[in-house]
Each structure stands twice: as C-alpha cells, then as structure tokens.
Structure 1
Amino acid sequence: MQVLSKINKQSSFFASLISVIMGLLVGGVMMILAGYNPIQAYIALFQSAFLQPFDIGETIRSITPLILTGLAVGLAFRTGLFNIGVEGQFIIGQLAAVIVAIKLDLPPVLHAIVAVIAGALGGALWAFLPGYLKAKRGVHEVITTIMMNFIALYLSNLAVTEWLTEGADKTKNVPESASLHWSFLSQMFDGSSVHFGIFIAIVAAIFMYYLLWKTTTGYQLRAVGFNPHASEYAGMNVSRNIVLSMMISGIFAGLAGASELLGTSGYQSIQASYTGIGFDGIAVSLLGGNTPFGIVLSASLFGILTYGGSNMEFVAGVPREVIRVVFAAIIFFVAANIVRWASQRRKKKKVKESNEKAVKSGD
C-alpha cells in the first residue's frame, strides 16, 4: 500500500508539473500571436519575484492568502465537499477581524491574536450554515455556498457604510496593536509588505496534514467524504463530520481574510465585486492535488505569477491578463487529466502491440 501511495503521489506531481509547463506554453503562444516576446516576458516575470529582497517579500505576501484559501478548498475536497464559498468566508473573515481591530482596545500582540481568531471564527460560522443544510436537509453545498458569497459581499459593504463608518467607502486603518505587518519582518525584506500571515499559513498547512492523516477525527472526515453510507454503517456520525469539515474549511478561509486585512490592506473597503482570492484557492488546491504540501507549492507558483505579472507588463509590455490565461490553461490541463489520458493511451498501445506479437508468434 505504501508503494502504491508513493507511486500515486509521484504521478500526481508529474501531472501537475506537466500541466504547469503546458500552461506556460499556451501563454507563450498567445504572446507570440499578439506580437510580444514570450521569453523576455517570462524572464521579467521570474526575475521580479527573486532578484531583490523587496520583491521576495512581496511575492511571499502574495503567496500567503493563496495557501490558506487553497487549504480551505483542499480540506473540503478531501472530505467529499465542494466549498465554493471560500470567497464569502474570506470576506467575513476580513469583516470580523476589522471589527475587533477597530472596536476593541487591547495590548499589542494580544490585539492581533484576538483579531485573527475573530476572523477564523467568522469564516467558520459562515461555513456552518451550508454544512448544516447539507447534513440535515441534503441541500448541495455548491448552491448554498455560492449564495452565501453574495450575502457576505453585500453584508460587508453594509457594515462598512452603516456601522463602521459614517457613510464612507472604507474604514479607518487598523491600529498598530492589531496589525500583522511587523516592522522587523518588513525590514528583513527591504520594506516590503510581507507580514506574519505567512507563518499562520504554514502552521495551518501542518495542522491540515496532522488532522487528516494522523488523527481519528481526520480519518472519519475522509471516510465520510469517500462513502457516507458505509461510514454511517460503521457507526460514524455523518452529519457531525460534514458540519465539522465545512467549519474547519471556513476557519482556513477566515484566517486568509484576517491575515490579508491585518497584514496587507489594513482596512476594509466597499467592494463592487469579489476579491478573487477565494476562487483562486480552487485552482491552487486542484494543482496541488488537495494535499497540504502540494497546495503550498502551487500557491507559491501562483503567487510568483501574480506578483511577477505586474513587472512583466512593465518590462515586456505584456498585459497582466495573460497571466490569468496561464492560470486557466494550467487548471484546464489538470482538470482534463491530459497527462493521465496520454499515459493510459500509451499503455493500451503497448498492450495491443504485445498481444499482436503474441498472436503472430503463435501462428
């Protein structure tokens, strides 16, 4: 079993790697057709992410929320759920964090901790209702979580204009005591916007691994996702595990929202549309094979492409929308299982050739 698991992991990693390469090639072809130089563009993209301490810090800052939203989607996938509501849970996490940051007067560090916890709880509570409806009423979580996204967006806007401000389009900046943008960490990366959220993201990835593969609760969560009827027959509480899975997923999304607000933006503003970070988490999770380590790697790639895209536009003149095309192409190749399909076709061809040889030798 361990050998088979190792082979599956290696094949999944290989498939993801090939999908990334193919996605970059698709982006390169589009650049050529549009009259741009793809080599120059990609060199500018990756140079901007690694050459200077400031750029490295900004890249890490871009990676941070993607890890957490990717973990939110990945945990749900692993337990048989499709949490499309990560975007809404992300927004509610931001809202809960900014409320605590602005309304409470607490000592430094403690203020930040309480605000982060509030964001996590906000995301968990926002994920509770879809989980409860799935467990008790059989309502599909895709429908409910999508609807909850809209509610989260407009609820946040209403709270900003009617409660947190006097009709303004954004709140005041969070106080220094609640900020995750600590000066010593920023100074290490030449004044960049890198913040403590990256450590929260890494701890969350470790927690997900330990929970799902090293605890009885994690085994039950995965078992219920794989076959709820067999799990119920085995004595597991299916409804409880569905709700628990959605809430833990919501915690990760809420942490993403809290860390992004307390570490990057520093305030909550009226949003005309979604941030997109929650939906990017779906792509991150798919590319990472819904595993914590894979999600960290895929989030790193997406973060590099996101931050480097701006430099690619500045140096090579290539619109940053091309990077979104690369994202889409990568996910298309992952979802389509192109590598696995090609491998299976090759195996079938070899089997057919060997059978034909056997028939000929028999004649």
Structure 2
Amino acid sequence: MTPDLGKPDKDRPDLVKADKDRPDADTAQPMAPANQTLDQAADRPGIGTMLRSDHPFVVTVLAVISAMIVGAILIIASDGPTRQAIGYFFQAPLDTFNAAGWAVRDAYVALFEGSIYNPGGGQALAPLSETLVYATPLILAGLSVTLAFRAGLFNIGAQGQILMSAALAGYIGFAWHLPWAVHIIVAILGGVIGGAIWAAIAGALKARTGAHEVITTIMLNYIAVNFVNYLLGVTWFQAPPYNQAVSRTVEGNARFWPLFGADLRVNFSFILAIAATAFVWWLLKYGTFGFRVRAVGANQNASRTAGISVSSTYIWVMVLVGALSGLAGVAQILGSANNYQVTASVDAGVGFTAITVALLGRGTAWGTFWAGLLFGALTAGSGQLQVATTTPPDLVQVLQALVVLFIAAPGLIRLIFRLRRSDSSGSAVLAKGWNG
C-alpha cells in the first residue's frame, strides 16, 4: 500500500518512530546553511586559516622567503656573466635568464652544502656539524636577550657577559687541575657565575637607582673588553712565549666531548643549548617566577599593586640572563669554536647577533632556538659560498639583515602576500605569539 505523501510528518507515526530509532539522531551535526559565505567557512580554525592569516609562524616563514628573493636579486646584480649577458639582452634574452638562474642556483646550493649536507665532501654531515657549532652560542645568548625582553628589559650586555664567562671558565680550565668529571662541571659553573655576576650589576643598578639597563650594559661591555685585554697581557694568564694575546689552552679534562666523533666539531654544548631552551620555555609558560617576569614586563604598576617586587624581579632576571650568556661563553671556550683559548674576540660578535636572533624568535624560547639555527646555518654556509661561487660572502650578512627587516615589518609582509588579519585589531595573534 502506498503511503499518503500528503500527510504532515508529525501525523505519520511510522516516520516519527523511524526517526527516533536512528542511533545518531541526537548526535547528528546540523548542516551548514546553504547561504554560508566562503569567508565565514574560512574563519574556522585550521591549517588553511593559519596559512592565509598573519600568524607569527606564517609571517616568519614568509619573511625568510622574501629575504631570499631579494637576496637572489642581489646575487644576479653582482654576477659577472649575468651582467655581461645583459649587454646583448635583445639579441639573446635567454642567455641572461640562464646566467641569472645559474648564479642564484649556485649561490643557494653552496649555502646548503656549506651548512646542511655536502654529498661531494669527505664527510657529508660536517656542514651540519658546523651549523650546530655556530648556532649553539647564538641560541644561548639569544635566550638571555629573550628573557630580558619578557621582563621589559633590553640586554645589550651579552658581549661583556660572554667575555667575563669565557675568561673565568678558561682560567679554571687551564689553571686548575681536577679530575675529568669534576673539572668540566666546575668550569661550567665558573662560567655561568661569571656571566651572572656581570649581568647582576646592571640589574642592581636598574633596581636600586633606576639606571637604564641599555646604558649600564654597554658600559659593562667596555669594561669587560678592556679587562680581558689586560688578562691577555699578564704572564699567569697568557700563553707562552708571551708574544701573542691568547690565553693558555684549556686542559682536556675541562673540554666538552664531541657528540658524533672527534672528526666533527659539534659537542655537548649543543645539548646544553637544547636544555636551556626547554628551561626558559617552561619557566615562562609554567613557572611562578616566569609569571612574575611576564607580569612585570607587561605592566610594572599593576605588578606592584598585585604585590610583586619589581626591583627583586629585575635583579633575578638579570642573574638568569647573565647565566644564559655565561653558558654561551662556556660553549665558546670549552668547545672547539675558539681552539680552547681565550682571546679578545672570543665572543665572535655573538653578543650583538643574539639581539637579532631574539627579535627573529619573537620573544619565545623555541622561536629563538630555530632563529639561532637559521643564523648558524647562514654563518656556516658563508665559507662554501665564498669558495664555490663568485658571490660576495657579505651576502650572508645582507640576508640576515633582510630577514630582520621583513620580520620587523609584518604589515609589509601582509601587503605583499595579501594575508588577512587574524582578528579585527590585528594584534591578538601577535600578542599570543609573543606571550605563548
């Protein structure tokens, strides 16, 4: 018998019963309205939404890509065969494009082979080892700048903290004669204490007198540089025959052991960098003191009202900041980056490059870690770039500057790649990336 289709559903007990008996009747999701726009659908959280918005990760990746594109233009402009081909462009335009393409390809392949993997070298992973060696002090010093940022402080003194740490750790390494396990631990602690004390001076001046940390840390840098220069001129610190400004060599008991064999320079200091990154991340995200740091950095007056001692927070933050920079100095002197000797240039410019690394890391621990790896790779690859191509090695510094330039101008990245703001104000996601 054919059912009466003209009856309303509510008057048909057979259909009502069948609908109630459906197992998913109560859990079925309502269908999206037919008139829902694509923009409303795109607002749902997900990878696709993130890739189309000005999420900090997306902006950072696009900033690196933009820097490489501008770098490619500079490579083409500095390439001799390309400039020569431009002279007869209208006769054979493909020659110009071929020359430009090969110049860019060779330059970036050289950077890759010098920093990640070189299949034609004697040791294919030696470039990666060099990247980790260069990245380790950048990560540690970058973490010190990042932690200061989160407390509302600007640590310009990483150079001096590294120098004082390296001097003290180096002295313990060559002047004290201790068993193997004890010697390296004491040397590490000595370097950490040296950096912590040097930074605590600036923290105490900020807390007690209101002296601006930028001024005090810069002045402390000068003092540290001249103090190390003095040490390199006295016989109990200088290496014989006393005609060069280098210290005595750190004993084997106080040296970091290699991670992947004696032929590769990467050593245990990189493990310390990973541990320090995890510690800073945990401290800022879950630690009670980290909450105080973030509160003081966000609003000093509100923190005082809440009972937080801003002065003591400043001092202890700078102690931790100096300890992290001290680990960078330890990595320089107890690792193989500086031949286990203290020199006037033992900091290797790490103190100031760390500021760039922290900015690129957007004030987060793991962001700073990856930024340090990127800068370490660029530094390691510059040697191969100089050997294998005619591209000036100064291009590496240009690339670093371009990355920071694009990172500092998220509005420009948003305009170039037509990214949508993550919220109406355009600041919520950036704030989350900064504080998360």
TM-score tier (shorter): 0.7 to 0.9
| Structure 1 residue aligned with 2:107 | 41
| Alignment match, 2:166 | 94
Cα distance in structure 2, aligned partners of 1:97 and 1:239: 29
More helix by share: 1
Structure with max Cα Rg: 2
- The question of 1:269 aligning with 2:335 is answered no
Of 239, 244, 254, the match for 1:178:
254
Greater RCO (Cα-Cα under 8 Å, separation 6 or more): 1
1:312 to 361, 385, 388: 385
- For 2:209 and 2:354, the matched residues in 1 are separated by 27
Q: 1:285 aligns with which of 355, 358, 376?
A: 358
* 1:316-335 matched pairs, under 5 angstroms: 316-335=389-408
Tell me by how many angstroms 1:39 deviates. Answer: 1.9
Q: Deviations over 1:136-186 (max 9, x none)?
A: 111111111111111111111111212402564111211000001x25x24
What is the Cα-based RMSD across aligned positions, in Å?
2.4
Q: Does 1:31 align with 2:75?
A: yes
SS at match of 1:59: helix
TM-score (norm 1): 0.88
| Alpha-carbon distance in structure 2 between the residues aligned to 1:45 and 1:344 | 26
| 1:258-313 CA-partner distances (Å, limit 9, x unpaired) | 11111022001234x96211111111111111111111111111111110111011
The match for 2:217 is 145
- Report 1:159-178 matches (<5 A): 159-162=231-234, 163-165=236-238, 166=242, 168-178=244-254
| Conserved 8 A contact 2:329-2:347 | no
Q: Which amino acid aligns with 1:300?
A: L
Q: What TM-score, normalized to structure 2?
A: 0.74
Aligned equivalent of 1:357 = none
TM-superposed deviation, 1:7: 7.0
Deviation at 1:226, TM superposition (A): 1.0
Cα-to-partner distance string for 1:8-62 (whole Å, 9 max, x where unaligned): 9981111111111111222221111112612210111112222212222112111
Q: Deviations over 1:310-360 (max 9, x none)?
A: 101111122211100110111111122335653999769xx9xxxxxxxxx
Q: Is the 8 A contact 1:97 1:119 kept in 2?
A: yes
Which residue does the alignment assign to 1:135? 207
Identity of aligned residues (%): 35
| Structure 1 stretch displaced more, 42-51 or 338-347 | 338-347
Instruction: Tell me if the contact between 1:67 and 1:201 (Cα under 8 Å) persists in the aligned partners.
Output: yes
* Distance in 1, Cα, partners of 2:183 & 2:54: 43
For 2:112 and 2:204, locate their aligned partners in 1 and report how far apart those are by CA, in whole Å.
Answer: 44
What are the ranges of 5 or more consecutive residues in structure 2 without an aligned counterpart?
A: 1-44, 81-102, 118-123, 425-436
**Runs of 4 or more off by more than 4 Å in structure 1?**
6-10, 343-348
**Are 1:18 and 2:90 matched, yes or no?**
no
After superposition, give the CA deviation of every residue in 1:180-226 in whole Å (9 maximum; x if it has no partner).
1x25x241xx7021111000100000110111111111101110111
Which stretches in structure 1 are left out of the alignment for 5+ residues?
Answer: 352-363
Aligned length: 340
Counterpart amino acid of residue 316 in structure 2: L
Q: Equivalent residue for 1:244? A: 316
Q: Over residues 97-123 of structure 1, what are the superposed CA-to-partner deviations in whole Å (9 max), with x where a residue is unaligned?
A: 101111211111221111111111111
* 8 Å Cα contact 1:123/1:251 also seen in 2: yes
1:200 aligns with 2:200: no
CA distance in 1, matches of 2:373, 2:391: 22
Q: Tell whether the 8 Å contact from 1:15 to 1:339 is kept in structure 2 after alignment.
A: no
Residue type of the alignment partner of 2:279 = F
